[in-house]
């Protein structure tokens, strides 16, 4: 029973050490040098260098995200995008909770995507100018049809026409950037462009909607005049039907609805102040809070696409060509970075040896023989490297376990981690070794026995470990 207890204790220590190692083993220096994040990792796409970059918290310095970039966090943090202009750039983040090597499965996947609505607009047809003087109903077919064509197909700069929409979209993009430059927050910059009474997106939607409603009213009146008066109205109506004016009216109404949807989308996604953080709320939060734990790190993938407005004869759409992406990891902060390395351990412990002898009465008794030294080979030896330096030599603590059926042991020590050497660096450590050896349980030296079988049957692990020393050299991390 006692053997099982001691082996179970050491086995549990070995398992805990393996779990604690996490992902640090192959990249210890990387984790020691990883930046510590307080609240946010700010990411951006640098179009000039075509690289994804990062900064942390309020530090204005940006660095490129490398293939193995790691951040450490003591609490939940966010990934943000600075001065996000949703009419120019769309940024998304997906977070994957990944088990450290002691855990096999991916357990959590979070993805947050923001989008910009797609708009639809009619083509451009230019008509003549309508007379300014008011007219009696059904009195001038040419003037009425000119008014209708102008409303439906207008001059190119009229709201709702492709060129006008393209120009307006460019102005909205510039206006958001300009508001950021003036020190406005993200919600104010985007919300201001949406709600501007003269040039805002919602105002444009109302203007186009009013044109559609007025055109429909005029088309209905023109059809009534053709039915009641005939003549020029009837001939003009036959010509007008070829251009399908009802479809044009619907296209204008669709444009108005699409612009309203765009305004609503921007308002719901970006005007909420709780979705922004940083200085003056200019960093947009791309997803949920990232909370790495001791057991699980978080792998974060950020993708950025550009927004481009494409105008054709019958539509205006938002194209989204990919700009770039990057992946990095967020790991729970710890003052010590664990790692496992292979190597050799020099450590011995003395073990009592018993045999038989005869007493004065010629009886077989238990006799003590000279102790023997036994080697201890740990099942796992873990270094806990200190985040207290960046040079070639870094102090570390060392814990090991040997789940042996003969001499289970726990090793406690310290040492130095050497970086920058060839073939994976080196660690040197040493300390105390606590081993459980087999000793007599019920028998004592001098007790009468029938033979060595009685002695072997009585041997069991001692309740207190014996203490020895060890020296270890590890390599190939």
Query: How many CB atoms are located within 10 Å of the residue 366 CB?
Result: 20
At residue 192, does pLDDT exceed 90?
yes
DSSP 129: P
Residue range 340-352, pLDDT digits in tens: 766 777 777 888 8
Domains of the chain, first to last = 2-24+337-475 (no CATH), 34-114+286-334 (2.60.40), 141-270 (no CATH)
pLDDT at 390 over 80: no
For the ranges 41-45, 96-100, 243-247, 383-387, the maximum mean pLDDT occurs at 41-45
* DSSP annotation string for 424-440: S-EEEEEEEEEE--EEE
pLDDT of residue 27: 64
Q: What is the DSSP string of 263-330?
A: HHHHHHHHS-GGGEESGGG-EEE-SSPB---SSEEEEEEEEEEE-EEEE-SS-EEEE--EEEEEEEEE
Residue 54 burial (CB count, 10 A): 23
Buried b (16+ CB within 10 A) or exposed e, 17-33: bbebbbbbbebbbbbbe
Residue with tokens 């430059």: 181
pLDDT at 424 over 80: no
**Number of neighbours of residue 452 by Cβ within 10 angstroms:** 13
- Across 75-98, average pLDDT: 86
User: For position 134, what pLDDT does the model report?
Assistant: 55
Residue by residue, DSSP assigns 80-103 as EEET--TTTEEEEEEEEEEE-TT-
pLDDT in tens, 276-332: 999 899 999 988 899 888 778 889 999 888 877 665 545 556 666 677 889 998 988
Is 444 strand, coil or helix?
Answer: coil
Rounded to an integer, what distance in angstroms lies between the CA atom of residue 475 and that of residue 144? 91
Cα–Cα distance, 149 to 153 (Å, whole number): 6
Mean pLDDT for 393-418 is 82
Per-residue pLDDT at 430: 87
Task: Give the rounded percent of residues in the chain with a pLDDT score beyond 70.
Answer: 77
| CA atoms of 279 and 184, how far apart (whole Å) | 11
Summarize the confidence of residues 352-363 as an average pLDDT: 88
Residue 17 pLDDT exceeds 60: no
Rounded Cα distance, 348 and 432, in Å: 11
Average pLDDT, the chain: 77
> Average pLDDT, stretch 39-49?
92
């Amino acid at each position: 029973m006692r053997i099982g207890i001691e082996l179970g204790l050491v086995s549990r220590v070995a398992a805990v050490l393996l779990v604690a190692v996490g992902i640090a083993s192959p990249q210890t220096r990387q984790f020691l040098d990883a930046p510590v994040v307080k609240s946010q990792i700010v990411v951006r796409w640098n179009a000039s260098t075509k690289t994804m970059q990062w900064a942390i918290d309020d530090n204005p310095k940006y660095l490129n995200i490398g293939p193995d970039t790691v951040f450490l966090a003591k609490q939940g943090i966010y990934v943000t995008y600075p001065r996000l202009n949703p009419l120019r750039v769309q940024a998304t983040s997906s977070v994957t909770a990944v088990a450290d090597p002691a855990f096999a499965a991916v357990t959590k996947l979070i993805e947050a995507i923001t989008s910009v609505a797609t708009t639809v607009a009619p083509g451009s047809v230019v008509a003549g100018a309508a007379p300014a003087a008011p007219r009696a109903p059904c009195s001038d077919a040419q003037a009425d049809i000119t008014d209708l064509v102008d409303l439906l197909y207008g001059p190119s700069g009229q709201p709702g026409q492709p060129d006008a929409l393209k120009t307006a979209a460019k102005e909205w993009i510039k206006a958001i950037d300009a508001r950021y430059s003036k020190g406005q927050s993200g919600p104010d910059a985007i919300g201001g462009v949406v709600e501007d009474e003269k040039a805002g997106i919602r105002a444009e939607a109302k203007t186009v909607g009013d044109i559609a409603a007025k055109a429909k009213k005029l088309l209905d009146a023109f059809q009534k005049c053709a039915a009641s008066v005939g003549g020029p109205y009837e001939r003009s109506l036959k010509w007008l039907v070829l251009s399908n004016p009802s479809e044009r009216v619907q296209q204008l109404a669709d444009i108005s609805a699409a612009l309203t949807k765009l305004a609503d989308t921007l308002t719901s996604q970006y005007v909420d102040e709780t979705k922004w953080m940083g200085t003056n709320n200019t960093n947009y939060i791309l997803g949920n809070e990232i909370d790495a734990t001791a057991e699980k790190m978080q792998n974060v993938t950020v993708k950025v696409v550009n927004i481009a407005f494409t105008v054709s004869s019958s539509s205006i759409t938002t194209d989204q060509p990919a700009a770039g992406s990057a992946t990095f990891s967020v790991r729970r902060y710890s003052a010590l970075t664990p790692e496992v390395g292979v190597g050799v351990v020099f450590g011995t412990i003395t073990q009592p040896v018993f045999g038989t002898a005869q007493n004065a009465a010629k009886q077989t008794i238990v006799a003590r023989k000279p102790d023997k030294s036994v080697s201890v080979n740990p099942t796992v030896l873990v270094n806990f490297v200190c985040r207290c330096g960046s040079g070639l030599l870094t102090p570390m603590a060392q814990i090991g376990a040997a789940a042996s059926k003969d001499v289970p042991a726990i090793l406690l020590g310290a040492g130095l981690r050497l970086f920058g050497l060839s073939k994976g660096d080196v660690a040197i450590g040493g300390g105390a070794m606590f081993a459980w050896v087999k000793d007599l349980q019920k028998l004592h030296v001098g007790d009468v026995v029938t033979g060595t079988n009685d002695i072997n049957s009585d041997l069991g692990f001692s309740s207190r470990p014996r203490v020895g020393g060890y020296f270890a050299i590890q390599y190939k991390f």
